Structure 1
């Protein structure tokens, strides 16, 4: 069944998201390992992805762990160094689809404020036909409710959607709903899947 619309995750699909790599470079691997063991940065970020205010969330965590306050505040102050670099091959794939008139959506766990800031700094994030952003919706992958919202609003039957994400749990929920799926492990594999689906040609996506 030929897909009618293509859905991209953003983190580690269109934009690298490797906080450990950032902190390794800034404070060293050993100190980073201690930081991540003692401070629930991932939990704080999940709260932001569910709609909690970004700055206040970072400050609350810094206040709770004053010995790590400088490092915790880097999550806000240097966010664009953490969410970096863009994955150029995936951007090329997205633009090739849009040039062919294929609807391209985003389904992403992303904070409200951070997404808005990212769109200003990274214009390709404004190129989707529509983006479903967890921080705006108050629900995040892999909760089936966020997939159901996209289905209800996009006007495309589930079996005609094709979705890529770097997390197997997010992919599994989409597949269970009848979506066509691709576990993202690199832009080349995603591009090849879309070529096989008849949506683009190799030359258009750099293969």
Structure 2
């Protein structure tokens, strides 16, 4: 018999809100091949994730500009145009989350997000303030899939790991949650999420 789910934890980026750095950079670096090179070699995923871990944007920009001074403006454009990277939310998955909250279920958020851009996102997307609470990686200096961030979230919000289900678009983060003793499902769309939740006895 499976343990009854008492706690539901959502990731944010690519689960509740859209994220794509190419959107503003299509104007900053119009050439597609050059833009791909830029994201692979300058403003890389590994560089950006350190802001999610708590590094300031000022420090992050200085680091890259020292290595690529000729691309200073393109580097600064990342934070400057961040708002354009998150143009909209996913109505169907947000509706699922809000229905769960309306039913009285315990819903929290666990996200890899820089502190300042998360607060900006909260202002733009009010549903990010409707859960019982949120753990933001940039606030605590830990990032998924480090098991420590799941353990920190569980302790902060009094979650029983075995009774917790986590929803994330990254398989690595899903595996991190499972390593922390949580149930976890890989998000690829609202229909699959409904089916996954149903398999745990949660109908939405």
RMSD: 1.9
Q: CA deviation at 1:188?
A: 1.7
Q: CA deviation at 1:59?
A: 4.5
Q: Secondary structure at the match of 2:203?
A: coil
The 1:158/1:123 distance shift into structure 2, 3 A limit, reads same
Q: Which runs of 5+ in 2 are unaligned?
A: none
TM-score, normalized by length of structure 1? Answer: 0.88
Equivalent-residue separation in structure 1 for 2:31 and 2:90 (angstroms)? 25
Q: CA deviation at 1:88?
A: 1.4
Equivalent-residue separation in structure 2 for 1:43 and 1:200 (angstroms)? 37
Q: 2:84 corresponds to which residue?
A: 81
Matched, 1:7 2:15: no
Equivalent-residue separation in structure 1 for 2:162 and 2:49 (angstroms)? 29
Alignment of 1:53-64 (within 5 A): 53-64=56-67
Q: CA deviation at 1:6?
A: 0.6
Q: 1:204 corresponds to which residue?
A: none
Equivalent-residue separation in structure 1 for 2:46 and 2:181 (angstroms)? 30
Q: Secondary structure at the match of 1:95?
A: helix
Equivalent-residue separation in structure 2 for 1:133 and 1:147 (angstroms)? 11
Deviation string for 1:10-56 (max 9, x for gaps)? 11111122224543465231120221233143233111111111244
Equivalent-residue separation in structure 2 for 1:48 and 1:20 (angstroms)? 18
Deviates further, 188-197 or 168-177? 188-197
Deviates further, 160-169 or 31-40? 31-40
Matched, 1:159 2:144: no
Q: Which runs of 5+ in 1 are unaligned?
A: 202-207
Question: After TM superposition, where is structure 1 displaced by more than 4 Å over at least 4 residues in a row?
Answer: none
Q: 1:137 aligns with which of 140, 147, 171?
A: 140
Alignment of 1:29-108 (within 5 A): 29-108=32-111
Q: 1:197 corresponds to which residue?
A: 200
Equivalent-residue separation in structure 2 for 1:113 and 1:54 (angstroms)? 9
Equivalent-residue separation in structure 2 for 1:140 and 1:38 (angstroms)? 22
Q: CA deviation at 1:151?
A: 1.8
Q: Secondary structure at the match of 2:166?
A: strand
Q: Secondary structure at the match of 2:18?
A: coil
CA contact (8 A) 1:17 1:84 kept: yes
TM-score, normalized by length of structure 2? Answer: 0.89
CA contact (8 A) 2:24 2:81 kept: no
CA contact (8 A) 2:10 2:107 kept: yes
